[in-house]
A = this chain, B = another copy of it.
């Protein structure tokens, strides 16, 4: 067979380039830590919700920071893009290798050591590939608390938590991942290693470049290590479940709880009646401790490091005053840990219960507390007008302004999902508009990734968008770090 030599040239060169890169990467990290197309790439090419699927030349698993740097240099020299991947538990497709062009997935799994831990300094230095639950356990081992806590904690990694500025259920008390971070180590897109692994609580030497990498979802470099804050461990907790007639009352109760109990207030989680109803209907094993006769329900947890303080009395006093002041119509304080677990079980069942009720269009909104009631009312009214058949239910970490509004469309068969997408976009547009009008966030804790990058410009000022793009261009002029994520290509 006659072969057109010219037509072959490009594919042959590409293949050669790819083969050469694979050889080079194997030389850096060891052949058994490179998975190419002859191996099982599948788990690394799809996000865990199965919404995104991409392609990659290989998955490479460096064993230390220097190897990460060497891999980055090798890829940079060939113009091959790098998609950093932690536990691959993200909600927005940031860790999936999407788009055109040659690219590899870089897994941090082997960077999984606790480098050091200081009880005295209340700090832990870890590799970025450490699993969140392992960091929690290491802290617990020295009688300290690492407070970040979220659903995926058994498999998500610290690097991913940093890259999305993760939130979770303890933000009210301890802050987001940014606030929990003292130091970082980052491999820059040119392979340089930024060693900012400080454990200092106070430093006033110039602006702080490491802040840029928190929330950047791997688009500015690869986080390889971090120094994180530890806290004294609470010795006791008290948990209550309360009912209220309005969001305003719930927020007044929150303000009183903060003012009186201060940092004892560990969690303040809101659910709408509809949210609990879908749990009751779909998860019969979950005990609902109340008749559902008011529109709003709150789980309140207070904690204390001092074993001798009387938390139960403090919580009782708060709720008695709230009942007197007609902020709550009823409240139940858990008599023991079993009952406390029952209360929390309701809160932890929101995702499962909602999923069984229909197709869920979910949102991860944050608005200032003074706008919560307005926001919820407006969004609910507009979605109801758009889709009268939607069940609109809500839950959220209202203590920190983060509310998840879910529009559940019942009876959607698998083959009807595609046809539903215009509705999804219309619902998103409603949420974006109302969020933007109240200066909220469309992604309080899940990130932007691929899912939300098209929505960024509608909720971000032109000046800020320019600054974001300029910083990206400065740090990654050849656009090899997780290209196309967070910031959509201009134009």
Contact = CB atoms under 8 A, between A and B. Distances in A.
A390 interface: no
Contact of A212 (B143, B176, B212, B397): B212
B121 A445 contact: no
B220 A215 contact: no
A476 B410 CA distance: 54
A446 B143 contact: no
Given A119-B255, A207-B215, A202 B368 contact: no
B205 A442 contact: yes
B208 A366 contact: no
For the complex of A and B, the 8 pairs showing the least CB-CB separation, nearest first, are: A262-B305, A211-B211, A207-B216, A203-B441, A201-B400, A263-B263, A202-B444, A121-B369
B441 A471 contact: no
Given A205-B459, A262-B263, A305-B262, A200 B368 contact: yes
B471 A209 contact: yes
A456 interface: yes
Contacts of A166: 204
Contact of A401 (B176, B202, B447): B202
11 contacts: A119-B255, A121-B401, A200-B444, A201-B400, A204-B443, A205-B460, A206-B215, A208-B211, A208-B215, A209-B212, A211-B211
Contacts of A262: 231-232, 234, 263, 304-306
A221 B183 CA distance: 25
B258 A122 contact: yes
A271 interface: no
Contacts of A264: 306
B368 A486 contact: no
Nearest to A372: B120
A167 B200 CA distance: 12
Interface of A: 118-123, 143, 164-167, 171-172, 175-176, 178-179, 188, 192-209, 211-217, 219-220, 231-234, 251-252, 254-255, 258-264, 304-306, 308-309, 314, 317, 364, 366-370, 397, 400-402, 439-448, 452, 456, 459-461, 463-464, 466-468, 470-471, 474, 486-487
Given A194-B464, A209-B464, A255-B119, A368 B204 contact: no
A263 B174 CA distance: 11
B400 A202 contact: yes
A487 to B, nearest CB: 7
A198 B261 contact: no
B120 A178 contact: no
A210 to B, nearest CB: 9
A234 B207 CA distance: 32
B401 A444 contact: no
A196 B439 CA distance: 10
B261 A306 contact: yes
A176 B202 contact: yes
Contacts of A203: 165, 366, 441, 443-444
A143 B255 CA distance: 11
A138 to B, nearest CB: 17
A368 B195 contact: no
A198 B367 CA distance: 9
A232 to B, nearest CB: 5
Given A120-B255, A204-B447, A208-B214, 9 more contacts: A165-B203, A194-B464, A195-B464, A200-B368, A200-B440, A207-B211, A208-B211, A209-B471, A262-B305
Contacts of A254: 120
Contacts of A397: 202
A211 B118 CA distance: 27
Nearest to A265: B232
Contacts of A119: 255
Contacts of A464: 194-196, 209
Contacts of A171: 201-202
